[in-house]
């Protein structure tokens, strides 16, 4: 059966990995900086840092924004559990907003209705790489003085109005480089910022709050004059993961082009199947086609039919408002409708799709 996900790994990387392993330089260093530069060049934004996991990235972001226990954050329950768990860790109050049942993306009108004096941020998930209503959500946030975090956990390489995700008007964008993403660093993530002060603050927070330029004196000893002013995490990406990331970036355009080519073939195939339509796309977006999303009248029957044909169809995620950890099990009409119809089909670089 053709899998829905498959980790990509470039060939001929082992000699350099072995060299790094025995170099004595395993922590964030040369390859960490090179990977960040590669990401910055690709996205078109210099204010990018890497971290060792998506979870670390989210915690760094919430610390950078200064969100405190009890603050409200508006989010979509139609997303990966990894996206929303950090809010529970930080004791933030999650206010679920409904989604457009034809796209799975946040509904701007419903987001507006959820705003209260305690609202601090909107967490805008771009479900399975399909970009949501960027301008509308960002305009609402600007009107109310709120932060916008673009959740690009599955959307690296997706585009909006010919710009890469991470180079838009949103305050922050968060990417995952976990094994089944592109690029894949085995484990890792990146954060892009619009604001220079946030960017500078994030570099400290990912490294225990340390300003490395001042941390040690001329003899290499820790300087008592270097104050630690902010909370921090041990979130730096290792040299091994960073090196893998630099090698992955060399292949990224080819891999994304392959996925988008597979999507065009799926477009033609789906037209021939009754009671199935592609997920409704904003014409100003280009998904990365991490998966190919469809909406179907009978989800279970459609899933079984595709699997019989050798395609591992799946719903990928389940709506997070069913989980007690978030202390908010509000039922949302658009969410229920979308989850009842949505399926993902394999569309990745490994798929040899044919007309």
Distances (CA, A) of 11 to 4, 170, 246: 22, 36, 13
- Interior CA angle at 207 toward 204 and 210, to 5°? 55
Residues 6+ apart with CB under 8 A from 74: 95, 96, 97, 111, 114, 115, 119, 121, 122, 123
What 3-state class would DSSP assign to 51?
strand
**Longest CA span, the chain:** 73
What 3-state class would DSSP assign to 170?
coil
Asked if the model's pLDDT at residue 355 lies above 60, the reply is no
pLDDT tens-digit map of 45-83? 999 999 999 999 999 999 999 999 999 999 999 999 999
Whether residue 264 contacts residue 353, with contact meaning beta carbons closer than 8 Å, is answered with no
Query: How far apart are the C-alpha atoms of 131 and 154, rounded to whole Å?
Result: 10
pLDDT, average across residues 279-283: 89
Whether residue 129 contacts residue 288, with contact meaning beta carbons closer than 8 Å, is answered with yes
pLDDT tens-digit map of 84-104? 999 999 999 999 999 999 999
**pLDDT number for residue 312:** 98
Reported confidence tier of residue 193, pLDDT bands at 50, 70, 90: very high
Reported confidence tier of residue 276, pLDDT bands at 50, 70, 90: very high
Q: Report residue 170: phi and psi, to 5°.
A: -70, 155
C-alpha dihedral, 234 to 237 to 241 to 244, nearest 10°: 170
Domains located in the chain, CATH noted: 14-97+104-249 (3.40.640.10), 252-345 (3.90.1150.10)
């Amino acid at each position: 059966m053709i899998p829905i996900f498959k980790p990509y790994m470039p060939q001929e990387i082992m000699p350099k990995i072995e060299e790094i392993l025995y170099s004595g330089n395993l922590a964030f260093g040369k390859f960490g900086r090179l990977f960040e530069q590669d990401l910055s060049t690709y996205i078109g934004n210099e204010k990018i840092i890497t971290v060792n996991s998506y979870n670390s990235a989210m915690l760094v972001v919430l610390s950078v924004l200064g969100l405190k226990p009890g603050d409200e954050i508006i989010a979509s329950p139609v997303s990966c559990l990894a996206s929303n768990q950090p809010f529970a860790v930080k004791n933030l109050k999650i206010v679920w907003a409904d989604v457009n049942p034809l796209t799975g993306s946040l509904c701007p009108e419903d987001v507006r209705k959820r705003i209260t004096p305690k609202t601090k941020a909107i967490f805008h998930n771009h479900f399975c790489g399909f970009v949501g209503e960027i301008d509308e959500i960002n305009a609402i946030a600007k009107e109310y003085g709120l932060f916008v975090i673009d959740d690009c956990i599955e959307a690296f390489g997706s585009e909006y109005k010919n710009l890469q995700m991470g180079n838009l008007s949103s305050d922050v964008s968060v990417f995952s480089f976990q094994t089944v993403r592109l690029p894949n660093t085995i484990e890792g993530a990146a954060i892009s910022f619009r604001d220079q002060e946030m960017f500078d603050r994030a570099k400290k927070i990912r490294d225990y709050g340390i300003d490395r330029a001042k941390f040690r004196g001329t003899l290499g000893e820790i300087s008592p004059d270097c104050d630690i002013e902010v909370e921090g995490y041990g979130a730096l990406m290792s040299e091994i993961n960073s090196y893998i990331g630099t090698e992955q970036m060399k292949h990224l355009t080819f891999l994304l082009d392959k996925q988008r080519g597979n999507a065009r073939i799926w477009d033609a195939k789906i037209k021939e199947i009754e009671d199935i339509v592609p997920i409704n796309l904003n014409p100003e977006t280009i998904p990365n086609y991490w998966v190919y999303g469809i909406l179907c009248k009978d989800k279970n029957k459609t899933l079984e039919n595709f699997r019989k044909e050798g395609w591992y169809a799946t719903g990928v995620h389940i709506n997070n408002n069913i989980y007690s950890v978030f202390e908010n099990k509000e039922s949302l009409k658009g969410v229920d409708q979308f989850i009842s119809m949505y399926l993902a089909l394999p569309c990745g670089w490994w798929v040899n799709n044919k007309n």
